[in-house]
Amino acid sequence: MKTRAAVLYKMEHPTPYAESQPLVVEEVELAGPGPGEVLVEIAGAGLCHSDLSVIDGSRPRVMPMVLGHEASGIVREVGPGVHDLAPGDHVVFSFVPVCGRCLPCATGRPALCENGARANIAGTLLDGSRHFRNAAGQELHHHLGVSAFSQFTVAAQESLVKIDPTVPLEIAALFGCAVMTGVGAVMNTARVEPGAGVAVFGLGGVGLSAVLGAQAAGAYPIVAVDILEAKLTLARELGATHTVNAAREDPVAAVKELTGGGAPYAFESVGNEQVLIQAYQATRRGGTTVTIGLPHPSRQFAVPAVSLVAEERTVKGSYMGSAVPRRDIPRFIALYQAGRLPVDRLLTRTIRLEEINPAFDALARGEAVRQVIRFE
């Protein structure tokens, strides 16, 4: 079948993207679902910093690629062997397909699924297949098994989680990356307990989701750190009890003062190793620093090694919020429906696929938290 998709042919385009047009919106050919695969009509596709990191080359991926990894949609067709999904079902995508058979999956850590990681690095679905071709017949890679910047996509059933159909689909999309990653970092990776202090460095979609997660977990105080006043204002509306503008004051000293000597938990969602060091320094003795952002592979992170021992500090990586997608996406959606995770506040605007390049400029400039593509 034919579908309209935004294709990235090469990385490291100059900004502004409204002029350099890194994403080419064109009609491409999509081969239907094979065994264990599902054809999904995308309903909402969020623009995430991780897409931006592929476009600017700081998170290199195999090219060319149909980007987009945070999405919701409606099942239109299922391949042989798909028994628990049917046409009409509403789904959210997990950007790591969960094979269910490898050791990380078997030990409850599917965000680290080995078969999923292998497919994601190769730019294929879980079984190694690729389904997109451009008009010239060139094969296009899948982005994290999702490729949501396309009106239709094919995904492995292991990439899909069925959701309550009453959830608005442009909101449901956010659970696939921002919410699963940010709330998961608080609830799964750190396991923040009620009354514990939290500092969140960087207030994009993931960082603001961590603020929401901290609020839902009963953390106090919740200190939000960023360099943009508009983000700090939004963080206060979402439950941050204090905010620090790191462009105006030393965030380490400010967080230490606000948390009575250092935060028990600090989260870094910028993907910058200097900010990660600040987050580490802002924790108290015995504190835990959770790193969520994705720095360029060449970057190193240096802290005094003795502080890990003599001060019992912990640094934890959190990929996809250490989530179990089939457990956590419905669980976080239930919290949203109960009014305890107002993730709809993260949605800045909905856009059309053709607006994708300038929309990435807005994301890069920090003017938008989440912009979601709606296909009509």
Which of these, 148, 147, 38, lies nearest to 87 by C-alpha position?
38
Q: Which is nearer to Zn ion, 178 or 187 (CB)?
A: 178
8-30 in b/e form (b: 16+ CB < 10 A) is beebebeeebeeeebbebeebeb
Q: Least distance in Å: CB of 292 to Zn ion?
A: 10
Residue with tokens 């938008």: 368
In the complex with Zn ion, which residue's Cβ is closer, 174 or 244?
174
The answer to whether 92 and 175 have CB atoms below 8 angstroms apart is yes
- Minimum CB separation of residue 51 from Zn ion in Å reads 7
Nearer to Zn ion, 104 or 197 (CB): 104
Phi, psi at 179, each rounded to 5°: -75, -45
Nearer to Zn ion, 71 or 177 (CB): 177
Which residues inside 173-192 make contact with Zn ion, applying CB under 5 A? 177
Of 23 and 105, which CB lies nearer to Zn ion in the complex structure? Answer: 105
Q: Which stretch binds Zn ion (CB under 5 A): 71-79, 100-108, 120-128, 352-360?
A: 100-108
Instruction: Assess 71 for contact with Zn ion (CB under 5 A).
Output: no
Q: Taking the complex as a whole, how short is the minimal distance between the CB of residue 87 and Zn ion, in angstroms?
A: 27
On the 0-12 / 13-18 / 19+ scale of CB atoms within 10 A, 208 is buried
Q: Which helix (H) or strand (E) holds 291?
A: strand 283-291
Say if residue 295 is preceded by a cis peptide, omega within 30 of 0: no
Q: How far is the CB of 176 from Zn ion (least distance, A)?
A: 8
Which one-letter amino acid corresponds to residue 4? R
Out of 6, 23, 105, 275, the only residue in the binding site for Zn ion (CB under 5 A) is 105
- Contacts of Zn ion in 111-140 (CB under 5 A): 113, 115
- Least distance CB 5 / Zn ion (angstroms): 18
Tell me phi and psi for residue 152, to 5 degrees: -125, 150
What angle (nearest 5°) sits at the alpha carbon of residue 341, between those of residues 340 and 345? 125
Quick one: 153 or 259, whose CB is closer to Zn ion? 153
From candidates 50, 120, 209, 241, binder to Zn ion by CB under 5 A: 50
Stretch that binds Zn ion, among 98-106, 196-204, 242-250, 316-324 (CB under 5 A): 98-106
Which 20-49 positions form the footprint of Zn ion (CB under 5 A)? 48
Name the segment binding Zn ion (CB under 5 A); options: 101-109, 235-243, 271-279, 355-363.
101-109
Taking the complex as a whole, the smallest distance from the CB of residue 286 to Zn ion amounts, in Å, to 31
Cα 174 to Cα 153: distance, rounded to the nearest angstrom: 18
Nearer to Zn ion, 107 or 300 (CB): 107
Q: Three-state DSSP class for 284?
A: strand
Q: What is the DSSP letter of 193?
A: P
Nearer to Zn ion by C-beta: 33 or 116? Answer: 116
Element (H, E) at 288: strand 283-291
Nearer CB in complex with Zn ion: 174/254: 174
Closest separation in Å from C-beta 169 to Zn ion: 17
If binding means CB under 5 A, how many residues of this protein chain bind Zn ion? 8
Could you list the beta-strand ranges (E) of 80-236.
Answer: 90-93, 132-133, 139-142, 152-156, 160-162, 198-201, 222-226
Q: What are phi and psi of 116, to 5 degrees?
A: -65, -45
Find the part of the chain contacting Zn ion (CB under 5 A) among 97-105, 119-127, 221-229, 349-357: 97-105
Q: Which residue in 102, 203, 240, 333 binds Zn ion (CB under 5 A)? A: 102
Distance CA 12, CA 14 (A): 6
Q: Output 95 or 201, the one with its CB closest to Zn ion.
A: 95
Question: Out of 43, 75, 99, 187, which residue is the one contacting Zn ion (CB under 5 A)?
Answer: 99
Q: Which residues of the shown chain bind Zn ion in the complex (CB under 5 A)?
A: 48, 50, 99, 102, 105, 113, 115, 177
